[in-house]
């Protein structure tokens, strides 16, 4: 196998066109993962009966199994489960199953990050807020969550970068994202290596951008609030 420069140049725009899809998986999973992750974290922190145990089991499962397994369980299993209650999702586009899987997976990791960063906010901050007459919900919203965001930023950045790398498995469901396109064009043209080189370039650039973004965000919040 020889590296063919012309193929590289030929692949570049074809793969670039698939980049938005790859990014969309990361974005969707980040947004919904953070929301669900926060809910999962709060269920445990606030010791909500039943939900707290459910959250623990779900998080352990999602953190303890490969994402590829989760994806196939969601893709093949969820329609079966929903069928029993009369909901038919079998003809949904595959991308929705990918979004769902990656959101669930991200939620598990975000929930653990949020749980520990919320726990890292000094207890005295709660006391001070209570002393000012704030309710628990108000204290979360106005005092504790803003502070835990600052604490959670580095780990969140790493998780999102990991999520980006994990999207490389979505093609297994037949999604034509960047990696899916590499596979597809590889089998048409017989050039796989060139495709992977271009893909690697995109992933590196995106990871570096994420790293820069989070580095700047961290600098900004630590300038604003230094946790004692």
Partner 1 sequence: MPHEPILEVTGLRKSFGKTPVLTGIDLAVQPGETVALLGPSGSGKTTLLRCLNFLERADAGTLRIEEQRVDLRHAHSKQILALRRRTAMVFQNYDLFLNKTVLQNVTEGLIVARKVSKDEAIATARDVLSQVGLSTRLDARPHELSGGQQQRVGIARALAIKPAVLLFDEPTSALDPEKVQEILDVIRAVAQTGMTLLIVTHKMGFAYEVAHRVVFMEGGEIVEQGTPAQVFGAPKQERTRQFVSRFTEGKAPEYFI
DSSP the chain: ----HHHHHHHHHHHHTTHHHHHHHHHHHHHHHHHHHHHHHHHHHTT-TTHHHHHHHHHHHHHHS-HHHHHHIIIIIHHHHHHHTT---TTS-HHHHHHHHHHHHHHHHHHHHHHHHHHTS-HHHHHHHHHTT--HHHHIIIIIHHHHHHHHHHHHHHHHHHHHHHGGGGGGGT--SHHHHHHHHHHHHS--HHHHHHHHHHHHHHHHHHHHHHHHHHHHHHHH----
Nearer Cβ to partner 1 (16/124): 124
Find the part of the chain contacting partner 1 (CB under 8 A) among 7-15, 56-64, 93-101, 128-136: 128-136
Interaction of residue 27 with partner 1, rule CB under 8 A: no
Q: Is 120 in the site for partner 1 (CB under 8 A)?
A: no
User: Is residue 228 a contact point for partner 1 (CB under 8 A)?
Assistant: yes
Confirm or reject binding of residue 124 to partner 1 (CB under 8 A): yes
Contact between 73 and partner 1 per CB under 8 A:
no
**x-marked contacts with partner 1 along 142-171 as a string, rule CB under 8 A:** xx--xx--x---------------------
Contact positions toward partner 1, by CB under 8 A?
122, 124-125, 127-135, 138, 142-143, 146-147, 150, 224-228
């Amino acid at each position: 196998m020889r590296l063919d420069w012309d193929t590289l140049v030929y692949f570049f725009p074809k793969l670039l066109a698939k980049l938005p899809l790859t990014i969309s998986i990361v974005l969707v999973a980040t947004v919904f993962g953070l929301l669900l992750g926060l809910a999962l974290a709060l269920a445990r922190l606030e010791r909500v009966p039943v939900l707290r145990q459910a959250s623990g089991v779900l998080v352990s499962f999602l953190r303890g199994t490969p994402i590829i397994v989760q994806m196939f369980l969601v893709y093949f299993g969820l329609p079966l489960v929903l069928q029993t209650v009369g909901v038919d999702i079998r003809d949904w586009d595959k991308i929705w199953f990918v979004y769902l899987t990656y959101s669930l997976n991200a939620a598990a990791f975000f929930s653990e990050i949020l749980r520990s960063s919320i726990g890292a906010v000094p207890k005295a901050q709660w006391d001070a807020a209570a002393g000012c007459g704030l309710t628990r919900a108000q204290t979360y919203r106005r005092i504790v969550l803003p502070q835990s965001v600052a604490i959670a930023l580095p780990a969140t950045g790493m998780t999102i970068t990991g999520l980006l790398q994990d999207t490389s498995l979505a093609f297994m469901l037949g999604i034509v994202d960047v990696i899916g396109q590499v596979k597809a064009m590889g089998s048409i043209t017989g050039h796989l290596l060139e495709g992977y080189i271009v893909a690697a370039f995109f992933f590196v650039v995106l990871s570096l951008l994420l790293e820069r973004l989070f580095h700047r965000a961290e600098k900004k919040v630590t300038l604003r609030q230094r946790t004692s």
